[in-house]
Structure 1
Amino acid sequence: MAPHPVTTKTYASRAASHPNSTARRLLETMERKKTNLCVSVDVTKSAEILDIVRQVAPYVCMVKTHIDIVEDFTIDLAHELRRLADELDFVIFEDRKFADIGNTVELQYSSGVHKIASWSHLTNAHVVPGPGIITGLGAAGKPLGNALILLAEMSSAGNLASGEYTEKAVQMAREAGLDWVVGFIAMHRVDKADDPDFLVITPGVGLDVRGDGRGQQYRTPHEVVHDSGCDVIIVGRGIYKNKDAVAAEAKRYQEAGWKAYEERLQRTA
C-alpha cells in the first residue's frame, strides 16, 4: 500500500462521517472556529492553567493538559476545565501517555485522584504493552463517548517510536476501530491510503526556534500541516512564555496553522 496522500478533504466533511463523537466535536470545532491549534498548558498551578486557557480559548480547537504536574490539583480544577470547554468551545486532551496492562490503565483512567475519563474528552497511550491497553482504556472511556489516540511517533531527538513500532501502532488502531481509536500522535501521516480517516495530532511546533536544548525539535505549522498532512498542531511554551502576550501568540499560531490548512486544500487531489 502506498503512503496516505495528504488529504484535501475539509475538516467539516470529515466530521460529517466520523463514527466517534469526540472526533466529530473536534473537527466541527476546527471548522467553526477556523483553527487547528492545540495549546499545551504545561504549568503547575491551577490558577495559572485556568488563566492561560481563558486567554487562548478564542484561538484553539483543543487544550492539552498534564494533570499530574499540577501541584495544587483538586477535582474542582477538572470540573472548571470541562465547564470552560463547553462555554468557550474546545476539546480537552489529557496527555497521560498510558503505558501499562489493560486492567491497570482502566483504573488509572477512571479512578484515583484525577478521574481523567470523567472530564477529558481525549487521551493517549503508548502501544508497548500491546492491544490490551486499548481494550482496558476503552472499558472506561468508550461508554462516555471519549476517544483515544496512540503514540506512533514523538518529537524528541533520539526517541524510539519509529519503524516497526510506528507500524504496530497503526495496525493496532486499525484493529481497534475508529469508534474508539481516532488517530495518532505523529510527525507525519503514518497511515495508508485505504485506512480509516485517522486524525494526526503533532507536537513540536514552533515559529521562532528549532529546539529547546532538552531534546525537543520544532517544525513550523506550514511544515506540519501543509507538507506533512497533519491535522492538529500542538504548541506550548512558545505561546505563554511571554505572559503579556499569551492571546497574541495564540492568535499568531492559529493564523499560521489555518493558512497552512487552506493552502493544503488548494492542492489537486
Structure 2
Amino acid sequence: MKIYSKSVQAIVRRIIELDMILFGQYKLKSGLISPFYIDLRSIISWPDLFEDICNEYLPLMEQCQFDLICGVPYTALTLSTFLSNRSKIPMIMKRKERKTYGTAKMFEGCYEHGQKVLIIEDVTSSGASILETAIGLRDQGLRVTDALVFIDRDMNAIENLRKHGINVHCVIKFLPLIDYLREEGHLTEAQVRECNSWILKNRSPLPMYLTNQIKLANHFPNTTYSQRAKICKNSFSKKLFQIMESKSSNLCVAADLDNCESILKLAQISGPYIVMLKLHADMINDFDEDFIKQLKAIAEQNNFLLFEDRKFADIGSLVAKQYSQGRFKIVDWAHLVTAHLISGPGMIEALKSEARKSSEPRACVLISHLSSEKNLVPPSYAEEAFSMAMNHNDFVAGFISREKVAFDPSLIHMMPGVKFDSEKGDNFGQRYTTPEMAIETMGADLIIVGRGITSKLNESIEVLNSTLQSYQTRGFEAYQKTI
C-alpha cells in the first residue's frame, strides 16, 4: 500500500539514507529510551532535499488562511524563510531568547495587531514548541489557528494543540510511516511492533511549565491572602499569608546592615509595619547568640518572620551543614532562606532534611531573577525554578523574582529592589522598582525594601515611621487593586 505521493516517497528514501530517521535505542532529552530517533536539522546541508521538503508544505499552506509566516526556532527558520519567499507572504522571526540590547524584541519583522500567523515546524512530539511560539505571538496581539509540520511523531501533538485552538496539518504521520517502511523492507515486523508499543505508552502531555505559561497569559485576577493561605502546601507559606492578611501588609524590610545594634533598632521600629525582616548574617560584624535571642523576641512580639538571604548554591552535603551548623546556625532562627537552582534538587532535599528538625515553620524561596543589571541569569532559569518549586512545594514557598513565574496561588513572588524613587539606581548595577509597578505590573506578592528604608535609620523616629507606613500602605493598596 503506497500511502504517499511519489515526491514524498523520494524524500523518505533520502532521509533514511542520510540517517535522519534512525531505529535502535536512543536516549531522548526527556531521559526516555526510544526505539527511533528523528533529526531533520541537517537538511540545510542538502539543498535539493531541503527544497523538496519545503515544496511539500505548499499544498498544506493552501488549506489555511493567514497573513504572516513564523518558524519555530531554530530548525524551522530556514523552512519558513523558503516558504515566505516562494509564497511571497511576509515572515516574522521568533527569537529563542529576548534581546538584552537595542529594542529588546522577541519577534523580528513587521506585523500589525490582529494579523493571523501560520506557524511552521519540522517535527513535533507533544506540540510544546509550537504552542510556546503561539503563546508568544498571541501575547503580541497576533492570531494563531494553524501550524504546518513535516513529521508528526504521533505522540499527542495534534490533540494537545487542538485544545488550544491550533489545527495541525502534517505531511507525514509517524505510525503510517513505519508501516510504509516495513513494506519497503527498511523495518521488520518486530521493529514496527516495538515502535507502535512505545508510542502508545509514551503519549506526550504538554510540559508543566507550558501549561503554567498559558494560565499566566490569561491574566486571571489574584486571590486574597487569606484564600491563598488555605491552599498552601507548607506551614511557612500559610503562616506568611495569614500575617500579610492580618497586618494589611506585604512589606519585607531588607536589614542589610553590619552591626547588631542597628538591626535590632530597625526591627523594633519597623515591626508593626512588616511581615518579614531580611538579613545577611555573614555581613554582621558582631553576630552572636544574644543578638538572635533579642531579634526573635522582637519578631514574636510584632508578629513578623525572619528571613536569611543566604543564597545557598552548593552540593547537598555542604548546604546541610551551612544551614544548620557553623557560627550562624541559620535553621535555628530563620523561617525562610534563599537558594539558587544551580546545584539541582539535591540541595533542596538537603535543606528540607535539616528544616524537618525544627519545630517551627521553615521554607526556602528560589532565586528565579536578580535585580542587578547585566546579571548572567538566563531567561530559562525561571522555567527551571517553576518546575523545581512544583516538585518541592512542601518546602519551596516561592521565588525571588522580577516577573510572575507561577500561576499556582500557593507560591509567593517576592521582589527585591523596591524603592519610591525607582528611576535612581546605584553605582553597582542595582535596579529599583516602585511598589505599584512591582505588584500591579510585575506580579509581585511581597515587596522587599532595603535602602529606601534603612537610609532613614539615622533620621528622626517620625521620619522612619512615616517612610515605613508609606511603603506598607502603597504596597497593600497596590495588592488590593489586583484582587
Q: Normalised by the shorter chain, which TM-score bucket?
A: over 0.9
**Residue type of the alignment partner of 2:366:** L
Question: Which of 41, 56, 59 pairs up with 2:270?
Answer: 56
The equivalent residue for 2:417 is 204
Amino-acid identity (%) = 38
Matches within 5 A, 1:108-123: 108-123=322-337
TM-score, with length taken from structure 1: 0.94
**C-alpha distance in 2 between matches for 1:131 and 1:196:** 22
Give SS of 1:229's match: coil
Give SS of 1:38's match: strand
Does residue 400 of structure 2 align to residue 185 of structure 1?
yes
Cα distance, 1:155 vs structure 2 = 0.6
**C-alpha distance in 1 between matches for 2:314 and 2:221:** 34
Does residue 469 of structure 2 align to residue 254 of structure 1?
no
Cα distance, 1:201 vs structure 2 = 0.6
Which whole-Å deviations, capped at 9, do the CAs of 1:235-261 have from their partners, x for residues lacking one? Answer: 011112122222221111111101101
Matches within 5 A, 1:59-208: 59-144=273-358, 145-176=361-392, 178-191=393-406, 193=407, 195=408, 197-208=410-421
| 2:267/2:299 contact within 8 Å kept | no
Give SS of 1:182's match: strand
Give SS of 2:480's match: helix
CA gap of 1:45–1:6, structure 2 versus 1, over 3 A, is farther
**C-alpha distance in 1 between matches for 2:409 and 2:391:** 11
Give SS of 2:383's match: helix
**Residue type of the alignment partner of 2:418:** V
Cα distance, 1:170 vs structure 2 = 1.3
**C-alpha distance in 2 between matches for 1:229 and 1:92:** 23
Cα distance, 1:143 vs structure 2 = 3.7
Give SS of 2:272's match: helix
Q: Which moved more, 1:255-264 or 1:6-15?
A: 6-15
The equivalent residue for 2:261 is 47
Which whole-Å deviations, capped at 9, do the CAs of 1:2-29 have from their partners, x for residues lacking one? Answer: 1523542000111122131111111111
The equivalent residue for 2:193 is none
| 2:367/2:401 contact within 8 Å kept | yes
The equivalent residue for 2:8 is none
**Residue type of the alignment partner of 1:199:** I
Which whole-Å deviations, capped at 9, do the CAs of 1:175-199 have from their partners, x for residues lacking one? Answer: 12x22011000011112x4x46211
State the 4+ residue runs in structure 1 displaced beyond 4 angstroms: none
**C-alpha distance in 2 between matches for 1:6 and 1:183:** 19
Cα distance, 1:93 vs structure 2 = 0.7
RMSD, aligned CA:
1.3
The equivalent residue for 1:223 is 437
**Residue type of the alignment partner of 1:252:** S
The equivalent residue for 1:26 is 240
**C-alpha distance in 2 between matches for 1:196 and 1:235:** 23
Give SS of 1:19's match: coil
Does residue 233 of structure 2 align to residue 15 of structure 1?
no
| 1:240/1:249 contact within 8 Å kept | no
Provide structure 1 residue ranges, at least 5 long, that are not aligned to the other structure. none
Cα distance, 1:36 vs structure 2 = 0.3
Give SS of 1:201's match: strand
State the structure with more CA Rg. 2
Q: Which moved more, 1:126-135 or 1:140-149?
A: 140-149
**Residue type of the alignment partner of 1:20:** N
Which whole-Å deviations, capped at 9, do the CAs of 1:80-108 have from their partners, x for residues lacking one? Answer: 21121111110111000001000000000
| 2:311/2:338 contact within 8 Å kept | yes
**C-alpha distance in 2 between matches for 1:147 and 1:227:** 26
| 2:337/2:363 contact within 8 Å kept | yes
**C-alpha distance in 2 between matches for 1:162 and 1:205:** 22
| 1:154/1:161 contact within 8 Å kept | yes
The equivalent residue for 2:132 is none
**C-alpha distance in 2 between matches for 1:3 and 1:104:** 37
**Residue type of the alignment partner of 2:412:** L
**Residue type of the alignment partner of 1:55:** I
**C-alpha distance in 2 between matches for 1:135 and 1:100:** 12
Higher relative contact order (CA 8 A, sep 6+): 1
Does residue 455 of structure 2 align to residue 237 of structure 1?
no
